[in-house]
Amino acid sequence: MAEKKERYRLKELIDVDKSQRLLDSFCDAVGIAAAIIDLEGEIMVGSRWQRICTDFHRVNQKTLTRCINSDTRMANALQKNQRFSMYRCLNGLTDAASPIIIEKNHIANAFAGQFLLEPPDLNFFRAQAAQYCFEEKAYLEALSEVPIIDEQRLPIILGFLTTYAEIVATMGLDRQRQLDYEAAICASEERFRETVELLPTIVCEHDTNGRFTYVNTYGLELLGFSQTDLERGLYADQIFPAQEEKFKGQFLWLLKKETQEPGEFQVKCKDGNSIDVLAYCAPIWKEDQIVGVRSSVTPITELTRTKEALRESEMKYKELADSLPQVVFETDEEGELKFTNLNAFKEFGYSDKDFKEGLNALEMLVSDDRERAMKNITAILSGRTLGGIEYTALRKDGSTFPVLIHSNLILRQGKPAGLRGIIIDLSERKQVEKERSELEVRLQRAEKMEAIGTLAGGVAHDLNNVLSGIVSYPDLLLMQLPEDSPLRKPIMTIQGAGKKAAAIVQDLLTLARRGGDSQ
């Protein structure tokens, strides 16, 4: 699109010659000098300049400086948003000005000047003639030509000038914008032509008589025609000889302003060979009338091959993903699921309907893990590689299970488009780890029992050797003592204590044997 011009100069918007003639007529009617001057000080149009200014004030360097100072003071007043400014210049005449505003932009000023509001003070002008070496008689004759204007008429005069300039400028602005728009249209059409020349498909246009007005280079080369053939006259019945009625039917649908689906045709090349194509057609509008048809035509063989290759690739990817025991997924940048394999539905309990209605990957994690997951997603989208990350997954029914997620960045046209990854259920692994941990505890316990048994066995054997005498010798002593001996009771007590100790030793030996059996 052509760049829009933000600010226009008045000179670009008005017809200077016509404006000059109209201003001359106006100034002759009201009897004063007037001008339209842009903000750079350039006079666009001016009329009826007074001789006292052109022959005297604007010739002498000192009085010229006074004129410039007067103009500057009025311009400064208008820049302060004053609608009207009037000033008696240092050379004795009166000037007035009003701004010209176009779409809130101050682009120029309308001036009316070189007049008097009352009869001149001759002594002032005689003194001025003497001061600046003007020939007095000629100077006063020029002064006599200066009009005396009723001050009440000034706003009307300046109002006319301002309104006139604004109307002319607005009309010019409309014209300029029209030219800009037309230039933009031309630039757009040029870019369109440049673009379609690069397309590997036929792009063409024809009028309502079926004559092709444009065929891109690819189309001409594919059909075997030249640009000269096109310029001499290439018609639809040459391209669609065997299907002319079908083509006309397609065209009539467009003329009726009804929707028409893409159509399959057989086009004839210049060498007589035929090509099957799929044509997308749209009407060309001009002033609410269809003036032709624009078409995009793709050979079906190439289109079919491309679609089949794409379909086969997608099918292989889906079959491979569905055959994996893990969950395979793809998301966009916001985490919305765009693809999952069959195992995902099995693991998480969602249905295909749920998927089509929209699911977010973060919803499949417990709430405590979501903030951490979001940070990790942001890191991966920024290009970082994080490896496998453990989370607690959340099924549709509310149950949870441990998972390990591996995900990578999806790039499309060099820009991040989402994530692709796999989810591994860690439930079995966690169960195995739990069982292994329990076995390790049992093994440690068995090792402790074995150590205790070994220690107990050694102690028991040593004690057993000591106790054998304590238990057996009392029997020998009792056999030698009479029944009424007072020593029998203490000896029997010693023997009973020895037997109890022997029983304890036997328990230690049993423990030692169990410790050995635990291996």
Closest CA to 234 of 215, 208, 217: 215
Tell me what pLDDT residue 517 has.
56
Strand segments (E) across 178-316: 202-207, 212-215, 263-268, 274-286, 289-299
- Whether residue 250 is predicted with pLDDT greater than 60 in this model: the reply is no
Give bridge partners of residue 204 from the DSSP assignment: 215, 295
Calpha distance 377→267 (Å, rounded): 52
- Whether residue 195 is predicted with pLDDT greater than 80 in this model: the reply is yes
Tell me what pLDDT residue 257 has.
56
Count of Cβ atoms closer than 10 Å to residue 401 Cβ: 14
Lowest mean pLDDT among 36-45, 109-118, 145-154, 353-362: 36-45
Element spanning 121, H or E: none
For the whole model, what pTM was predicted?
0.39
Reported as half-sphere exposure (CB side, CA atoms, 13 A), residue 362 has a value of 17
- Cα-Cα-Cα-Cα torsion 374, 375, 378, 383, nearest 10 degrees, comes to -140
Pick 490 or 41 by higher pLDDT: 490
- Whether residue 2 is predicted with pLDDT greater than 50 in this model: the reply is no
Handedness of CA 351, 357, 360, 366 (dihedral sign): negative
- Whether residue 220 is predicted with pLDDT greater than 90 in this model: the reply is yes
Rounded to the nearest angstrom, the gap between the alpha carbon of residue 287 and the centroid of all alpha carbons in its chain is 35
Tell me what pLDDT residue 1 has.
41
Give bridge partners of residue 99 from the DSSP assignment: 109
- Whether residue 222 is predicted with pLDDT greater than 80 in this model: the reply is yes
Percent of residues, the chain, with pLDDT higher than 90 = 26
Calpha distance 12→396 (Å, rounded): 71
Q: What angle do CA 261, 267, 271 make, to 5 degrees?
A: 170
- Whether residue 11 is predicted with pLDDT greater than 90 in this model: the reply is no
> Mean per-residue pLDDT for 335-363?
91
> Mean per-residue pLDDT for 211-217?
91
Tell me what pLDDT residue 259 has.
53
Tell me what pLDDT residue 216 has.
92
- Whether residue 313 is predicted with pLDDT greater than 90 in this model: the reply is no
Mean pLDDT comparison of 40-44, 378-382, 467-471, 515-519, highest-scoring range:
378-382
Tell me what pLDDT residue 488 has.
84
Binned at pLDDT 50, 70 and 90, residue 419 comes out as very high
pLDDT (tens digit per residue) in 489-515: 888 888 888 888 878 877 777 766 665
Name every residue whose Cβ is closer than 8 Å to that of residue 199 and which is 6 or more positions away in sequence. Answer: 216, 218
Percent of residues, the chain, with pLDDT higher than 70 = 89
Pick 506 or 359 by higher pLDDT: 359
> Mean per-residue pLDDT for 331-342?
92
Mean pLDDT comparison of 109-113, 246-250, 269-273, highest-scoring range:
269-273
> Mean per-residue pLDDT for 444-467?
75
* Token couple for 509: 């030996």
Tell me what pLDDT residue 341 has.
92
Closest CA to 294 of 331, 333, 345, 260: 260
- Whether residue 244 is predicted with pLDDT greater than 80 in this model: the reply is no
The pairing of strands 415-425 and 94-102 is unpaired
Binned at pLDDT 50, 70 and 90, residue 98 comes out as confident
Name every residue whose Cβ is closer than 8 Å to that of residue 350 and which is 6 or more positions away in sequence. Answer: 344, 359, 396
Residue 44 contacts residue 108 (beta carbons within 8 Å): yes
Tell me what pLDDT residue 129 has.
92
Tell me the pLDDT of the chain averaged across its residues: 82
Binned at pLDDT 50, 70 and 90, residue 301 comes out as confident
